[in-house]
Amino acid sequence: MRSRVLIGVLGALAVFALAGCQTKVVTAPSGVINTVTAQGEGKTSATPDQAEMTFGATVTGSDAKKTLAEAATTANAITAALKKAGIAEKDLQTAGVNLYPQQDFREGRAPVITGYQASVQVRATIHDIGKVGDVISAASGAGATDIGGPSFTLSEDSTARAEAIRQAVADARARAEVMAKAAGKSLGDVVSVSETGASVPVVWGERAYKATDAAGTVDIQPGSLDITAEVTVVFELR
């Protein structure tokens, strides 16, 4: 009888022990692919296709309100002249409105306000580089006392920008192929691609002009720009 009980207990312990020692098989998630990531750079050059300039009026007077109003009136005339010269309204923007007191500083007494200086600036984007000189002349003729620029750059839809990106992607693929070959693999499809940087320098022409010197047509030389694009591309490895 004892031996039967002992055997029964041992059997129960064995079953319990087996129940507590289950084996789990862990498999890798399906759909996981091996990849290689490469960065590429592309460079090209192009002639600028747009320019940005600022035109303004600076006025001095004894009354703050009247002085600012006079500057605004001239700025409105400048804006009208720019539109007449072919600048679209969407390419015109008020760049600054300033009013400062002019003070007389003398030793031994508090500063005395002797008048006011007001200025209103208008920024214009010119999409036809060949019209920059005419635009300067139009603003000067409308009473602009402050003329700054031009700054030359490329529009967002420029073909030169697109070409720099294409070169950058090709460069990334070439680098990835070298790494894949070294690892005994070959490149598959593109998993992702992103632009990590783009550089289009701004080229400045003459920064400022005197209104009296801008009465005639100004000869403008836009030069060329160097465009750089950087991309990161992830490729599948096969």
Whole-angstrom Cα distance, residue 69 to residue 122? 15
Whole-angstrom Cα distance, residue 192 to residue 87? 40
The whole-number pLDDT of residue 47 equals 86
Q: How many domains does the chain have?
A: 1
Instruction: Let me know if residue 72 belongs to a domain.
Output: yes
The whole-number pLDDT of residue 33 equals 79
Mean pLDDT of 4-32: 40
Q: Is the pLDDT of residue 90 over 50?
A: yes
**208 with 193: CB under 8 angstroms?**
no
Cα 231–232–235 angle (5° rounding)? 130
Instruction: Let me know if residue 76 belongs to a domain.
Output: yes
Helix (H) or strand (E) holding 186, with range, is: none
Instruction: Let me know if residue 108 belongs to a domain.
Output: yes
C-alpha distances in angstroms, 188 versus 32, 85, 227? 14, 54, 30
Instruction: Let me know if residue 92 belongs to a domain.
Output: yes
pLDDT band at 11 (very low <50, low <70, confident <90, very high): very low
Instruction: Let me know if residue 27 belongs to a domain.
Output: no
Mean pLDDT of 173-179: 95
Q: Which domain holds residue 121?
A: 49-154+210-221
**Between 156 and 5, residue with greater pLDDT:** 156
Mean pLDDT of 166-174: 96
- 157: tokens are 């839809």
- 167: tokens are 């070169």
The whole-number pLDDT of residue 233 equals 96
Q: Is the pLDDT of residue 80 over 90?
A: yes
Instruction: Let me know if residue 133 belongs to a domain.
Output: yes
- pTM for the structure as a whole: 0.65
In three-state form (DSSP H/G/I as H, E/B as E, the rest C), the secondary structure along 81-142 is HHHHCCCCHHHEEEEEEEEEEEEECCCCCCCEEEEEEEEEEEEEEECCHHHHHHHHHHHHHC
**193 with 115: CB under 8 angstroms?**
no
User: What CATH number did the domain enclosing 216 receive?
Assistant: 3.30.70.2970
Instruction: Let me know if residue 214 belongs to a domain.
Output: yes
Instruction: Let me know if residue 79 belongs to a domain.
Output: yes
CB-based contacts of 129-132 (< 8 A; 24+ apart in sequence): 129/47, 129/48, 129/49, 129/50, 129/51, 129/220, 129/222, 131/85, 131/86, 132/51, 132/53, 132/218, 132/220
**82 with 92: CB under 8 angstroms?**
yes
- 188: tokens are 């598959």
